[in-house]
């Protein structure tokens, strides 16, 4: 869950709870206050009635506001307030709430039972009005607070997500340090500084590794060149056939070592995108040309090439890498073929399919592109790794399917 969502959700829940409790409490307190008010009024009224009676006035019963009954001296009543419902005779006969107070007073030797009632209808209405007002104000304040909180959170985290985007887009290939936007929040700035420091350190290491790979490869090639040339010079001398065989096989092994070294360097170079001048290459034409070259080399094994063009396949790539891509795919299709086999190349709009006949292998789409994965000892296990690397860095998806044919499918993924 997003931090902002979590914070906002909790804030909304807390606000809702506080809102309910606050409005409940307000309602309850208000009600108590109003009832007290009514009781006070009733007591005031009783004093007034008693005073009038004592001064000799005659008081009439006015139901339900006041009732005067003369009762025996023995009559006693617990003077208390009760809430009663009385039918309104003058209105539509509905029961309305009243606060009733019963008291027995002795005025001029007469025992009066005094019943005073006050209608609670207007107080209920008042309570309702005040409650509505109160709740409206409360809910408005709560909503405003939630909204402000949302906006604040969003603006604070915006600075964070902007920098996160910059970090996501960062690539070592640009070989310059990361630049993050300064935020108004101290903690975010701390994080930014840590990220900048970390990437700068990594950048230095990365450059060092890159340099090392290049230098190592360079340093390897010269001694390898010396070995190969010396071996070749030895072949020019008068030597026994046995010695010649040894020299040739040594030469082949050294050549393998050299190729391996070169291919590893190539992989690094592709990874580092050290191939400039990207152009839109029409793979159909390129493949036609490459197949013609290959046909001459594979004549003795009688491998048939079939090319079908049902659409165009363009890649934005440097011409050098396009060459390597097709060479490696075709070499692979030929190398793992059997004499008299077939290589079928199909072009669709934005799709290239290369299938070949060949022995079954244990390789799957998940493993076939790994470095040093090979099904026979003649290959280096780097050709397809290079193909994959080229595809990965040029927005091409590649997959390997095995049914009775071995098929590689390349398609534009248009995401890099």
Partner 1 sequence: MKVLLVEDEPDLRTIVSSYLLKEGFICEVAETYLKALRKISFYPYDIILLDITLPDGNGMDLLKIIKGDNLKAGIIIISAKNSLDDKISGLDIGADDYITKPFQLSELNARIKAVLRRHQFNGSDKVQFNEISIDINGKIIRINNEPIESTRKEFDLLLFFILNKNRVLTKETIAEHLWGDNFDLADNFDFIYTHLNNLRRKIKAKGGSDYIKNVYGMGYKFGDQ
End-to-end CA distance of the chain: 28
Q: How far is the CB of 12 from partner 1 (least distance, A)?
A: 59
Residue where the block lists tokens 């190969």: 228
- Between 53 and 303, name the residue whose CB sits nearer to partner 1: 303
DSSP label at residue 302: T
Rounded Cα–Cα distance for residues 64 and 43 (Å): 16
Say if CB 44 and CB 37 are below 8 A apart.
Answer: no
Q: CB 342 → partner 1: shortest distance, Å?
A: 17
Q: How far is the CB of 363 from partner 1 (least distance, A)?
A: 17
Output the six-digit token pair for 160: 């964070």
**Of residues 78 and 237, the one with the C-beta less far from partner 1:** 237
Give the residues lining the site for partner 1 (CB under 8 A): 214, 217-219, 221-230, 232-233, 235-236, 241, 244-245, 247-248, 251-252, 254-255, 258-259, 262, 265-266, 269, 274-276, 293-294, 296-301, 320, 323, 327-328, 330-331, 334-335, 378-380, 383
What lies within 8 Å, CB to CB, of 251 at 6+ separation is: 228, 231, 232
Between residues 283 and 294, which has the closer beta carbon with respect to partner 1? 294
Min separation Cβ 201 and partner 1, Å: 27
Q: Which long-range contacts (C-beta less than 8 Å, at least 24 apart) are formed by 117-123?
A: 117/64, 117/65, 117/66, 117/84, 117/86, 118/38, 118/41, 118/42, 118/45, 118/65, 120/38, 120/83, 120/96, 121/96, 121/97, 123/34, 123/35, 123/37, 123/38
Residue with tokens 């009385």: 86
Q: Which is nearer to partner 1, 195 or 228 (CB)?
A: 228
Q: Which is nearer to partner 1, 67 or 214 (CB)?
A: 214
Q: What is the DSSP string of 354-372?
A: EEE-----S--TTTTTSTT
- The nearer residue to partner 1, 196 or 257, going by C-beta atoms, is 257
Task: Find the shortest distance in angstroms from Cβ 384 to partner 1.
Answer: 11
Nearest distance from C-beta of residue 148 to partner 1, angstroms: 57
HEC profile for 4-41? HHHHHHHHHHHHHHHHHHHHHHHHHHHHHHHHHHHHHH
Instruction: Identify which of residues 137 and 243 has a Cβ nearer to partner 1 in the complex.
Output: 243
Q: How far is the CB of 405 from partner 1 (least distance, A)?
A: 20
Residue whose CB is less far from partner 1, 146 or 224:
224
Least distance from partner 1 to the Cβ atom of residue 179, Å = 27
Give the DSSP H/E element, type plus range, for residue 96. strand 95-107
> From the CB of residue 38, how many other CB atoms can be counted at a distance below 10 Å?
19
């Amino acid at each position: 869950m997003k931090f902002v969502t979590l914070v906002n959700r909790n804030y909304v829940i807390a606000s809702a709870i506080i809102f309910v409790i606050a409005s409940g409490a307000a309602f309850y307190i208000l009600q108590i206050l109003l009832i007290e008010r009514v009781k006070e009024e009733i007591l005031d009224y009783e004093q007034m009635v008693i005073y009038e009676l004592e001064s000799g006035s005659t008081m009439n019963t006015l139901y339900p506001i006041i009732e005067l009954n003369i009762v025996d001296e023995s009559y006693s009543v617990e003077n208390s307030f009760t809430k009663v419902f009385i039918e309104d005779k003058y209105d539509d006969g509905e029961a309305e709430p009243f606060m009733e107070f019963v008291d027995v007073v002795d005025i001029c030797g007469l025992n009066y039972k005094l019943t005073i009632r006050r209608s609670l209808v207007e107080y209920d209405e008042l309570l309702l009005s005040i409650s509505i007002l109160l709740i409206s104000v409360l809910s408005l304040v709560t909503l405003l607070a939630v909204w402000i909180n949302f906006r604040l959170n969003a603006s604070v985290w915006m600075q964070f997500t902007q920098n996160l985007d910059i970090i996501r887009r960062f690539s070592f290939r640009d070989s310059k340090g990361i630049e993050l936007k300064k935020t108004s929040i101290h903690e975010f700035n701390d994080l930014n500084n840590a990220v900048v420091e970390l990437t700068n350190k990594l950048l230095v290491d990365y450059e060092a590794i890159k340099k090392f790979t290049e230098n190592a490869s360079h340093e390897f090639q010269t001694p390898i060149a010396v070995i190969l040339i010396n071996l070749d010079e030895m072949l020019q001398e008068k030597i026994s056939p046995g010695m010649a065989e040894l020299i040739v096989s040594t030469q082949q092994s050294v050549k393998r070592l050299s190729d391996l070294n070169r291919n590893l360097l190539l992989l690094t170079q592709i990874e580092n995108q050290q191939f400039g001048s990207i152009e839109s290459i029409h793979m159909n034409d390129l493949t036609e040309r490459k197949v013609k070259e290959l046909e001459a080399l594979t004549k003795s094994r009688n491998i048939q090439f079939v090319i079908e063009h049902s659409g165009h396949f363009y890649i934005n790539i440097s011409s050098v890498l396009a060459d390597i891509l097709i060479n490696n795919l075709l070499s692979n299709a030929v190398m793992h073929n059997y004499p008299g086999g077939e290589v079928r190349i199909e072009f669709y709009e934005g799709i290239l399919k290369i299938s070949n006949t060949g022995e079954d292998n244990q390789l799957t789409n998940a493993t076939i592109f790994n470095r040093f994965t090979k099904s026979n000892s003649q290959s280096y296990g780097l050709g397809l790794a290079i193909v994959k690397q080229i595809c990965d860095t040029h927005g091409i998806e590649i997959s390997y399917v095995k049914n009775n044919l071995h098929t590689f499918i390349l398609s534009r993924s248009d995401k890099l």
